[in-house]
Amino acid sequence: MNVAEFRSKIKPDLILSAGGQKYEVKEVVKFRLDDGSFYIKCFLNDGCVLADDANDDSFLLVKEVKTEFLKPFEQSIKFDGKDFEFLYTAHAIAEETAGEPVFKKDASERFWDYKANDGSYLSLGIDDETNARSDFYGRIVTGDGIGLDQK
């Protein structure tokens, strides 16, 4: 499933297949980036999150983790025994929400994303309002590893 198809079908209470696992979609949030583009982030059961990436027509399947990294973040970092290289930083605002209230509408965050050679992904996030950290670790999943079904 490509990102465009995913965006047209995703909604709360569906069963999402990603990376060989099945998850229940709890909340779907449309985040608007400062450059005007947007992405969809799905909060799943079991603390997992799936976000789409229209630039690469891929998906990020991650779970919240605690890290000890402090700002300013380095260009190269080591986490979980892997070497990560900085990709980009961005600022996003929750423009639309649907489902269980996991992330509030109009809440915003800044994040710094990193990728390892094996497809692992690390996102270091900071909530604008509370300054709380929200870091996620997981992997990139291609569209052929994504499916949606009714409960």
Task: Determine the pLDDT at residue 19.
Answer: 83
pTM summary value:
0.93
Asked whether 14 and 1 are in contact (CB, 8 A), the reply is no
Q: What does each of the 151 residues of the chain score in pLDDT, given as a tens digit?
A: 999 999 999 999 999 999 889 999 999 999 999 999 999 999 999 899 999 999 899 999 999 999 999 999 999 999 999 999 999 999 999 999 999 998 899 999 999 999 999 999 999 999 999 999 999 999 999 999 899 999 8
What CA–CA distances, in Å, run from 11 to 62, 112, 116? 19, 27, 30
Task: Determine the pLDDT at residue 28.
Answer: 98
Question: Over the stretch 63-96, which tens digit does the pLDDT of each residue have?
Answer: 999 999 999 999 999 999 999 999 999 999 999 9
